[in-house]
Structure formats: structure tokens, C-alpha cells
Chains A and B, each alone.
Chain A
Amino acid sequence: MSKFKFNKKYKAIVIGGSAGSFQGIVKILSNLPEHFPIPIIMCLHRLKHVRNGFVEALSIKSIAEVTEPHDKESIKKGKVYLAPANYHLSIELGHYFSLSTEEMINNSRPAIDITLGTSAYVYRDKLIGILLSGANRDGGLGMKWIKDRGGLTIVQEPSECMIDTMPKAAMGYTNIDHVLKIDQIVQFLKELDKQYIK
């Protein structure tokens, strides 16, 4: 029946995306099962100096409310978080966020590698990492760190990506578990949802 096998309970999902990922993100968020059982943390490249608008644009389409976390805010299930403009977003061991303004990485702040890497450190094998369309290599290493710590890795099918540099970078760094189209990612999340007793 299902092509996905779930052999454990995951505790969080991190999603990275850049150029060409907006439509995909919207599709994922608008098809998310209600009361999704685990937090979704998104790090998307965005205009550095536009503080407002993006989170609202995503929220309108999303089933769950999308928020930009404050520094030291606790991570809660059922919520969708978006890295704020011009800050790196890290996950800390006590399951809360912290922000920083360190140098850009791969010309990006927020840098996907930082969010993915710190998530992998905290959630280890209980993490699912998803990397979508994008025009640079940011996130590639982050996916490797997730895989190295036993997490599950998914990239958007390169042929479906507007720009496939990002998922391809990840595929170069590590053995990605699933290469999926957005529709399949939506399906994956629906099946994942069924694993949790509500």
C-alpha cells in the first residue's frame, strides 16, 4: 500500500528552500493535515530587508498558522515556523529557537545549513529534512548532517524544480532517502500524520 515505511516517531520536520520554492511550500502548507502532530520549521531564502509580508503571504494559504519565532521561543507541535529575515535560526537543546546575526553563509542569512545542522544536532534520528528548489548550495551540507545523525532526508525531484542546484547539491553530499515531487511530499506528510494517535 504505502510506499513510505515509518519505523519510528519523528519529532520535527525542517524544510529548506530558495529560488522557485514558494509555490511548492504553498502547496505543502495548504494541504497539511489539520492539527499536524509535530512542528515544521522552515528556513527559506528571502529578501533581507523586507521584514513584513512573507509570513502573512504563507499564512493565508496555510492550514496551520505560520509564525516567525522570537529569540528563545519554545518549539511547539502543530505550529509552522519561518526563519525571520536577516537572522540565522538555530535550534537549541532545550527545544527552543535562538537567533543570530553572524556573517552570511553562501550569501544567505538566514542560512539553511544552520537551521538544518542545529536541528540535526538536537533531534538526531527523530528529524525529517526536506530540501526544495533553489539556486545555490545552501542546505546541501545541512542535509548531510541530518542523514549522518540518522534522520530521514527528502529532496524535491530535480526535474520538477525551477532551479535544481540545491537538491542536487544535497544528493551530491549524501544518500538522500526519498526524491519526491511536491504532490508526493504532500502525500508523505498525510501518511506521516496517520502514525500519530490523536
Chain B
Amino acid sequence: MQIFAYIINKNGKADDTALELALAAKKLDSEAQVTAIVAGSGIDSVCQEVSAAYNDVWKIDHAALAYPDSEIMGKILPKLLPEKAVLLLAHEYLAMDMAPGLAIRMNSAYIADVTDIEGLDGSVAKLVRQEFSGMVSTHNTCDLSDGAVITIRPGVFATEETPAVGGSVVDKSGDIVIPETQRKYLETVEAEVGDVDISNSEVLVSVGRGIEEEDNIEIIKELAEAMGVDYSCSRPIVDAKWMEKSRQVGTSGKTVKPKVYMALGISGAFQHLGGIKGSPFIIAINKNPKAPIFQVADIGVEGDILEIIPELTEKVNELKG
């Protein structure tokens, strides 16, 4: 089988997922020939970097690809890839924009956000993914006989070691034509900076949709104040405009690396957990004993935050005298 991996790269560096995709490809088919595809402008160092982990690297270097626009790449790749190719991408912002359409244009199977690969039975892959915000997992079959586009959840194949393959770089830049598109990239607007930078906080009291109402946010602030630490939140709290965006933890918010993280009324969606680095000590309070957060937390309490938090604040205040 020939497997391709689309490498996300920024500022001359490959994303962490570059190695993860190499590992995922081997897990899908240990015999497979695995080719990395690196597209961009001025990408020699990226190609060199990833070549260690792949059989070969296809370099697509073009000024028009300086910004990785999925409407452009989404039309280039189906022409460039051989028929029935299996293409892996990391399930993040570029893939969500490009990958499903690629599968249609390549007339191949599509499966998104794979969290584990159980193997191959003939041309049918058995893959694990999650549904309902990570509350249940599913086994899925994906028929690879007409090729496939598969997106892999970032982090699930995280590894320290580089599979020593040591491939060469093949320049494919001359094989592509930049297509006309109906969507033009204008600019990237950076996220607003808030009053605190939670990415440096040592302790975070973090609240989720379990807080139920805007008025209740106060009890979180009171706890944080009593503890003398910063507060943060999950995305729905920001969507509802109950806290500013700069306090959102997660892939589309801030990456934090505290020593202690309190997850209060937060279910533990992977986009939330994706923003928590450095293996903090996690204390979770949630009224649903099956909430995924309990699987990653160190200490769990099954209970109502509206009842527990005010009492906890009082105890902390007592302690401090």
C-alpha cells in the first residue's frame, strides 16, 4: 500500500503531527511505503526535517502556497496523488477545511478524527473514533480499495522517537499548476490579548457549561480569589460572552501549562484538553460520573459545582484566616 501524509508546517518547521502521522501510517500497514507531502514556500528545511521519518518526501514549493490555503491545495492534491492513494492528515484547522472535499474529489473513502488504528483486513481498515463529545467510542470499518482520506486526532500517536527510515526529498514543484479559486486569502488576525495571560498561570480554576448561568460565574471568581490564583474557562463560556476569549483554554483558545488545574463543570472534550500541557494535577468536579474528564483527572468529585464551590471557597478562606 502507498500511504501519503500531508505535513503541516509553519515558519520553516514541521508540526508535531508530522511524526504522529508517520507512526499512524505504520500502524495502518507496517509494510507500507510512506510519503510525506510538504507544501509551502521556502520549505527545504521542513523537507529535510521530516525526511528522517518517511520513505520519501514530496516537496511542493511555490510562492502561491506561502499561506496553506485549502481551496488551492484541495485542488492540487487530487491531480498529484496516484489513483487509490491513502492520504493521512492531522484532524485540525487545515484538514477540517480541506480533507472531506479531497475525499470527494479523489472519489475515495473518508473518515475523520481517528483516535486509534486496529489494523487492516484485506483492504478494509478497522479504526476507532469518538462520538458525542468523547462520551462513547466506536469501531469503524473504512474500505480503502478506492483510496481513502483519513484524519488523525493530534496527540494520539504522540511519540518521542523518530522511526528511522531516512528517505530522500523529491521535488514535485514542477508537477503542479496553481488553480483558480473562488476564495482568496486576505490576512490572519491575531487573537486579542486579555488582561491576564493564563498561559503562564501556575494554578487555574477553570469553569465550563456546568455553571449553567452567567450570574453563577461569580462563585468561580470568588474561589479563584480565595485561592489567590487565576480563573479560566471552556469554550461555551466564551461563546456565551460570560468571560473574555483570552481566558479560554483549548485548541482554539490558550495553551496552558499550570501545575494544578481545576476543571469545574467541564466535560473534557479533546479540543479543551488539547490546550492543557505539561501534565498538571487535575481536579475535576462534575455531576456526571461518566464525564470523560474523570478519565484524565487525578482527583474527581461527582457532584454539583453550584453546591460545592461556595463551600470550598469558605473553607479556603477559613484556612487563610
Pair from one complex: no
Which residues of A come within 8 Å of B, CB atoms?
Answer: none
Which residues of B come within 8 Å of A, CB atoms?
Answer: none
